[in-house]
Structure 1
Amino acid sequence: MLCQLSINNFAIVRFLELDFKAGMTSITGETGAGKSIAIDALGLCLGNRADANTVRPGANKAEVSARFSLEDVPYAKRWLEDNDLDVDEECILRRTISADGRSRAYINGNPVPLTQLKALGQLFVGIHGQHAHHAMLRSEHQLTLLDSYANHSILIDNVSKSYQRCKLIENELKQLQLNQQERIARKQLLQYQVEELDEFALKPGEFEQIEQEHKRLANGSDLIENCQLTLQLLSEDDEHNIESSLNRVIGFADQLQSFDPALQSVANMLNEALIQVQESTSEVQDYLSKIELDPEHFAFLEQRISKAMQLARKHHVQTEHLAEHHQALAIELKELNNDATRLDEIQQQVDDSKQAYIKSAQKLSQSRLRYAKELNKLVTRSIHELNMPKGKFSIEVNFNPDIQSVTGSDQVEFQVTTNPGQPLQPIAKVASGGELSRIGLGIQVITAKKVATPTLIFDEVDVGISGPTAAVVGRMLRSLGESTQVICVTHLPQVAGNGHQHMLVNKFSKSGGTETQMKPLDKEQRISELARLLAGDVITENTLANARELLQ
């Protein structure tokens, strides 16, 4: 629950520190005193939008902090743990707004994005504003109220996931269908190109090999002649060859090293040279023995090179990249062939996903029907207590499979009759302003009991209500305060008198400026404030007696 609210330089508040208790807290004050200013300040801690106008004139920044107990809020503890934020017995939400409109958010002293502040704040506080009953006229808000009462978060999440999956698959199907003609034309072209390249069947790296082999055969006569000349010079010439010359030089070197060992290295190098010459001679002889001049094979290679170059020009690629291009076209053709199968698969997935969505939406709809009947009885009983003894409330839930959204396929309509003998009609057509306020308040109180929020704020939700009805409203809120912390901003003494505690808002002038203060009232101060609410400026003994009676 909310334990403390501290406000610095916010609007017309210079400094305010409020301690809150369990139960129902009434907040009253004269018109224009700023009764809702604490609620507005708390809203900043809960992630509401801020601007520079919220900073008190003359101040550099506004600062608001709210301290909450975590004793009975296990889901808030889990949220803090999941987001790696400090977890203790209490949690402090803080917000600062500079004079230029920039704001910063903190949780337990840690800077956080505003989205995180808002997410955590929703676990601590639920705010019901004075215009909530007007929102109730909208069909989407009626659906939200019913789902909040029924706690449909898990069912709605299932429906939402089914809907998103359905849309994702439908979009993929549409994309495939839109490109169908383009794919057919591309497939026909690829089939012709791949068949032509399949027939030629050039392997990766093959062009380089045949080009090298063609070059060798083209120069075959020169190769043979040069190999023979090389062998003559190396070892086969009868008069002069390198091998015999080296042998004579080695003989001289052996004599030289016998005279001076320093020439040993020369003899070693000459021996190594002789070995290299002998090995070279052997390799050239082996190569010469294998050379074959095959005119037919040479012609085949020329034809293949010519065809490869022709196809490369046709496909606008370099000849050495033709084989890789062939592979890429084959892969693309295979994927296009798979698209036809994929189209059938996607269509089946669309059908399956629609069925899955309808199934989850029907399950949600059935639960809505069940809880709508339950809520009908509770709201009807509530409006009877709120001085509409002949009124009847009903929620119409119609499942329409043609409607598909993240919240299901239901059309929900709140219906009411306020006079006996009159049929149920949409609430927007039948209820007057005062009746709408009473129905809306009854629904808010009933749904608030079902929502596991530790602190509920009712900001002048009793507008348009008076007399005995106001007393019933006060008792309703007090009863709600027995299990949940309730903070109620009100102008009705019958409501304020039901509070477990009472705070008064005052506005005054100081040093040429305007300030607002809020303070808790003791019993005698409460009687005076309730008397003021009852009678205005002229307070009599009878008024005070009525105020005392309200507190009883």
Structure 2
Amino acid sequence: MLTHLTLINFALADHLALDIEAGFHVLTGETGAGKSLLLDALSVCLGERTDSHMVRYGTDKADVTAIFSYAEHSAEAQWLATHELADESGEIHLRRVIFATGRSKAWINGRPSSLAELKDLGRLLVQLYSQHSQQQLLEPPYPKQWLDRYSNFAEPAQIVRDAYSAWQKAIRQHEHALHAQATRLQRIATLELQLEELEDTLQYNYAEIEQEFDRLSHHEHIMQDCAYGLNVLDEAEQNLTQELASVVRRFENHVGRSEQLSNIYTALVNAQSELEDATANLRQFIDRQSFAPERMEQLNQQLEIFHRLARKYRTQPDELHTEYATWQQELEQLQQLDDPETLAEQVKQTEQEFLALAEQLDQQRRDAAGPLAKLLTEQVKPLALPEAYFEFKFEPLEQPNAEGLSFIQLLFTANKGIPAQPLARVASGGELSRIALVMQVMNAEKTDAEVLVFDEIDVGISGGTAEIVGRLLSDLAQHVQILCITHQAQVAAQSDHHLLVQKQQSDPASSTIFALNEEQRIQELARMTGGVEINDTTLQHAKQLRQLKFQHTKIEKS
């Protein structure tokens, strides 16, 4: 879960450090106070895009750090181990620095990281739901995606997509085989001639031949330089080996008199050993060298063949091996096309495998759809929709696709005796917001992330409906940590922790976030319900809202 967040020169925050506990947190405040400050900072740490506007005015960079705790065998623990980013603290430190130029840098547990890594890890840590999520309900793929996610069908759905890809690939291969039949024999003959022409030549290594030819071409110069080097090293009257040995003997007398002289002596002894090895190797090299004109001529002929073939096939001599392997692979593929019926059989087989898996997934979805629609109906009814009814409709596709055999719609009616129709056609804006909220909460119950963020998802609801939403989130917070921006006092009253965002009109302006005690919570709830004027009535109402929270908690525990 999220345990700490530090914001330095981030947007309206000057220097803000916030410890965050387990449970259900709400963030409230006046319009324009900067309620999204904390969530924006968290998103930055999770790899979302940034720009220079996130840097506090008058400063050159913003610095944001988020700290998470995690379980030993969790998905994020495995991710850290795989990327060698785990540390002894048992925590995850995500840091992002944004510069006024718009650039940014990121770290995971102190090591520089890419934004892709931040996002990858962030998906395991935090799940975000926004007030715009209700628009997803109007998108045709959403009912199927929601059904699959809630029913844990992600793996079989991916297997079906893979099987569909294999089927389509077999179709393309078969079509390509049929198209290639006309020119196949001619191409095979051409490839066989090319491979035969290169086969003998490619028994030799071009780089080795070229190096040996170059050495023989410069044989006389090499031997002159080697003889000169051997003379200077060991054969001259005053050679380096003797001179260095004399120096070593002189320094040996002073080893115990100075640590620095001792180090120098050791270095000289090592140099003496290296010099002796080099001299011995040079003698050995000279003894083994001989000039063979016939060998040089042989190498020259081989190089000419390499260069001729390279010119012919418009490549470099050292690339002929690669060309040979490519032609060989193409020839093998063309030879497999001798019988297009074999590929036709493969198309039929992969189609049958796909259809079998797709039919199995389709039946799993149909079996899960009824109970899920019933559960959704039960969850939505308390939100001022007493006659709500949902059902999933499966329409067979004209042509199966990677997503399965059926187009899945979510049907809805809010009125008794009225047949259910597609949700996008009959639901009002207020109904959509409530339905989206319940579906998000139901999805959140299935997520692996331990931190759920709800950004003003309660827009469009109020009164008793908002209270029920608060209870839903409160119950969900028994299993995960929740951060929620809200304008609804009924939702805020159900939280375990209340964070207030306030803007201070300093120069420049700044925002701060601090936790409220119970008395301060009553004052804030009264402001949210009664506006600017806080009186006994609004205070009493705020206390009643908190009392409902305590009663609900007591019932849950019992």
TM-score between both structures, scaled by the size of structure 1? 0.71
Deviations 1:474-496 (A, max 9, x none): 11111111111111110000000
- Deviation at residue 460 of structure 1 after TM alignment: 0.5
- Deviation at residue 341 of structure 1 after TM alignment: 3.0
Cα distance in 2 between the residues matched to 1:332 and 1:521: 71
- Deviation at residue 71 of structure 1 after TM alignment: 2.7
Count residues in correspondence: 421
Query: SS of 2:381's equivalent?
Result: helix
The correspondence for 2:413, drawn from 411, 417, 421, is: 417
Is 1:510 the counterpart of 2:506? The answer is: yes
Deviations 1:249-272 (A, max 9, x none): xxxxxxxxxxxxxxxxxxxxxxxx
Is 1:536 the counterpart of 2:531? The answer is: yes
Partner of 1:29: 29
Output the amino acid matched with 1:60: D
Indicate if the aligned counterparts of 2:71 and 2:77 stay in contact, CA closer than 8 A. no
Partner of 1:545: 540
- Deviation at residue 146 of structure 1 after TM alignment: 1.7
- Deviation at residue 116 of structure 1 after TM alignment: 1.4
Partner of 1:3: 3
Deviations 1:189-233 (A, max 9, x none): 879x99xxxxxxxx999xxxxxxxxxxxxxxxxxxxxxxxxxxxx
Cα distance in 2 between the residues matched to 1:549 and 1:13: 34
Query: SS of 1:35's equivalent?
Result: coil
Supply the RMSD in Å over aligned alpha carbons.
Answer: 2.9
TM-score between both structures, scaled by the size of structure 2? 0.70
Deviations 1:454-480 (A, max 9, x none): 111111000000111111111111111
Return closer, same or farther for 1:331/1:377 CA change in 2, 3 Å cut-off.
Answer: closer
Output the amino acid matched with 2:365: R
- Pairing 1:149-228 to 2, within 5 Å after superposition: 149-183=150-184, 186=187
Partner of 1:389: 386
Partner of 2:466: 470
Is 1:438 the counterpart of 2:439? The answer is: no
Indicate if the aligned counterparts of 2:177 and 2:337 stay in contact, CA closer than 8 A. no
Indicate if the aligned counterparts of 2:177 and 2:340 stay in contact, CA closer than 8 A. yes
The correspondence for 2:355, drawn from 351, 358, 376, is: 358
Cα distance in 2 between the residues matched to 1:169 and 1:54: 50
The percent identity for this pair of structures is 37
Return closer, same or farther for 1:369/1:105 CA change in 2, 3 Å cut-off.
Answer: farther
Cα distance in 2 between the residues matched to 1:103 and 1:382: 43
Indicate if the aligned counterparts of 2:389 and 2:413 stay in contact, CA closer than 8 A. yes
Output the amino acid matched with 2:463: G
Flag structure 2 segments of 5+ consecutive residues without an equivalent: 194-198, 202-311, 314-323, 548-558
Q: Which of these two proteins has the greater Rg computed from alpha carbons?
A: 1
Query: SS of 2:121's equivalent?
Result: helix
Cα distance in 2 between the residues matched to 1:498 and 1:101: 40
Flag structure 1 segments of 5+ consecutive residues without an equivalent: 195-202, 206-315, 318-326
Cα distance in 1 between the residues matched to 2:472 and 2:157: 30
Cα distance in 2 between the residues matched to 1:481 and 1:457: 11
Return closer, same or farther for 1:337/1:412 CA change in 2, 3 Å cut-off.
Answer: closer
Indicate if the aligned counterparts of 1:73 and 1:454 stay in contact, CA closer than 8 A. no
Deviations 1:35-83 (A, max 9, x none): 1121111111112112222222222222222111113761111111122
Partner of 2:75: 75
Partner of 2:236: none
Query: SS of 1:131's equivalent?
Result: helix
Indicate if the aligned counterparts of 1:462 and 1:470 stay in contact, CA closer than 8 A. yes
Query: SS of 1:477's equivalent?
Result: helix
Deviations 1:270-307 (A, max 9, x none): xxxxxxxxxxxxxxxxxxxxxxxxxxxxxxxxxxxxxx
Partner of 2:148: 147
Output the amino acid matched with 2:510: E
- Deviation at residue 186 of structure 1 after TM alignment: 5.0
Cα distance in 2 between the residues matched to 1:333 and 1:477: 61
Return closer, same or farther for 1:172/1:8 CA change in 2, 3 Å cut-off.
Answer: farther
Indicate if the aligned counterparts of 1:358 and 1:401 stay in contact, CA closer than 8 A. no
Q: After TM superposition, what 4+ stretches of structure 1 lie above 6 angstroms from structure 2?
A: 330-334
Is 1:44 the counterpart of 2:44? The answer is: yes
Cα distance in 2 between the residues matched to 1:444 and 1:454: 15
Return closer, same or farther for 1:403/1:9 CA change in 2, 3 Å cut-off.
Answer: farther
